[in-house]
Amino acid sequence: MIVCKLSFNNMKKSIKDYAIYFLTLVLGVAIFYMFNSIDSQQAMLQVSRFTKTNYKADDINAWVCICICSNYTRITNCICK
- Average pLDDT in the chain: 76
Q: What is the pLDDT of residues 8-23, one digit of tens each?
A: 888 888 887 788 888 8
Determine which helix (DSSP H) or strand (DSSP E) holds 3, and give its type and residue range: helix 2-38
- Per-residue model confidence (pLDDT) at position 22: 85
> Has residue 31 been placed in a domain?
yes
* Domain assignment of residue 19, given as a range: 1-38
Determine, yes or no, domain membership for 30: yes
The whole-angstrom separation of Cα 50 and Cα 24 is: 34
Contact call for residues 69 and 76 (beta carbons, < 8 A): no
Q: Residue 69 falls within a domain, yes or no?
A: no
58 is a domain residue: no
Give yes or no for a contact between 51 and 58, defined as CB atoms under 8 angstroms apart: yes
Is 0.75 topped by the overall pTM?
no
What is the secondary structure of 52-79 as a DSSP string?
TTTHHHHHHHHHHHHHHHHHHHHHHHHH
pLDDT tens profile 55-75:
566 677 777 878 887 877 777
Compute the average pLDDT of residues 31-58. 68
Per the structure, the count of domains in the chain is 1
